[in-house]
Chains A and B, each alone.
Chain A
């Protein structure tokens, strides 16, 4: 079975003045339909860059990205656009300050002709309610929302498209745990009911533990480890991964125990 999304030796190099930044360095991986691939790793290791390339916002410097076996060009047809959606890391800048969030949400429905025209406005309200916002936030402007509220709008917008793949770049970092739980639950439900595929970029390993099927770990532009969530947490191969898990801030004793066991392993490995 062909993977729904596949990256082959993708690299991206930026130049900043005299500096060359190899943000993504020869990365290949496949994403299977219906799975949730968590992407974790160092800050600045190229996670968002990969997301942007998958969406065709930047062209990759090298390598190709294919969707269901066909290589995606950077200017895409509507169907390809609909197939993959993105929740940007920086929700404020991804919302047009001159449009109400209702208008921004409705766009997704209008573009893809989702639902009856006359009922779309209502649907926008529903979408907002699904992410825990009152329907009357439709007529608010982005500037008057809190950080977490904006993030939820961005999620709602990505979900509105009813796409196959959703790339979520730190979608819940500004949410309190209750709302986060609710959002994750929503994502899970959609995954079950519609067979959605997620590429879930996050720093919150506790979330990864509970939502991901597989985990990709990045360090400095390279993919250092890719395995199922169980393996990663119980028996991580890469020392960087182990370090990450060992540093997770936790609230219960059992969790601390897990952390220390991993850290000990690390210490043993080093010894």
Chain B
């Protein structure tokens, strides 16, 4: 196990370098976004003098390198500065909004895995059948409209016409749980409030599904196309000749070696949702980080942009490490490679 641990440590180490790189890059890029952050923050009616004062306070008059120095010095103390959008410390904003989005995208990610992969397996196993065609249409629907359109459609179907699911927010107004982790599914359980847990879970269904839809489609299609290839491999024929149950052949023998592309894409989709879920969050009034991220980008709220991008970046790094690791697990030949480098 020790080489694995060493590998993971090495990856984590380089991830830190990547994060520093990202912070510099985003620091520079964010400042290229058109608009004067002070002007935007102060609102349309502010005077030039007010704007100038704020610019000074934000060090915006100084060269970029000096600004970055300020940033790093503050960061060392765990301070990402104050958001001009919420007028609160960015760290406080992130701490409040990140769990909401994470909870949402984790559920969406699980849906991609638990719905997308099986659909792919089914359509590969029954390729050419009506089930395959149905799944194909269903999965392609997911890429024919953006997730927020699906969010709207789902809301209309299951909250407006057929009031089965809650419409907005994370928990019914009448319920309350003390915040511990910020993840309501966990906090409700910690509070021992099963009813609230059910309610929070119920709130998650539609937004998570709307978000997951495109990932489900990709996972299913990629799984299918790779499984179709794998089905031609001699070891599948061998498994068939031994009469292993067909479902089992599909699920174990053909599926696992075909998992690499779907896993890669699900991983990316999952991490990308942290930045891309904003419209779905908007539809379901989800107080999440994604919406916050977009709000601050559009307002050129520099501190908040850097803060959220670093979080997104960290998630990508973690997810990619996990995916690379999982793939090495799935395919022992990568892990146990004897090849000379």
Interface residues of A (CB under 8 A from B): 14, 56-59, 74-75, 92, 97, 143
The distance from the CB of A8 to the nearest CB of chain B, in whole angstroms, is: 18
| Cα(A92)–Cα(B234), bound, Å | 10
Contacts of A58 in B (CB 8 A): 338-340
| Cα(A74)–Cα(B341), bound, Å | 9
State whether the Cβ of B232 lies closer than 8 Å to any Cβ in chain A.
yes
| Cα(A92)–Cα(B232), bound, Å | 13
Q: Using C-beta atoms within 8 Å of the partner chain, give the interface range for chain B.
A: under 10
Contacts of B338 in A (CB 8 A): 14, 58
Residue of B nearest to A14 (CB): B338
The distance from the CB of A142 to the nearest CB of chain B, in whole angstroms, is: 11
Interface residues of B (CB under 8 A from A): 232, 234, 338-340
| Cα(A97)–Cα(B234), bound, Å | 12
Contacts of B339 in A (CB 8 A): 57-58
The distance from the CB of A17 to the nearest CB of chain B, in whole angstroms, is: 10
Residue of B nearest to A143 (CB): B232
B340:A57 contact, CB within 8 angstroms: yes
A74:B340 contact, CB within 8 angstroms: yes
Residue of A nearest to B232 (CB): A143
4 closest Cβ pairs, A-B complex:
A74-B340, A59-B340, A58-B338, A58-B340
Which of B232, B234, B339, B340 is the most central at the interface, judged by chain A CB atoms within 10 Å of its CB? B340
| Cα(A90)–Cα(B200), bound, Å | 56
Contacts of A59 in B (CB 8 A): 340
Query: Beyond A57-B339, A58-B339: 4 further Cβ-contacts under 8 Å?
Result: A74-B340, A75-B340, A92-B234, A97-B232
| Cα(A75)–Cα(B339), bound, Å | 11
| Cα(A56)–Cα(B339), bound, Å | 9
Residue of A nearest to B336 (CB): A16
The distance from the CB of B230 to the nearest CB of chain A, in whole angstroms, is: 11
Which of B232, B234, B338 is the most central at the interface, judged by chain A CB atoms within 10 Å of its CB? B338
Residue of B nearest to A75 (CB): B340
The distance from the CB of A198 to the nearest CB of chain B, in whole angstroms, is: 24
Residue of B nearest to A59 (CB): B340
| Cα(A41)–Cα(B71), bound, Å | 69
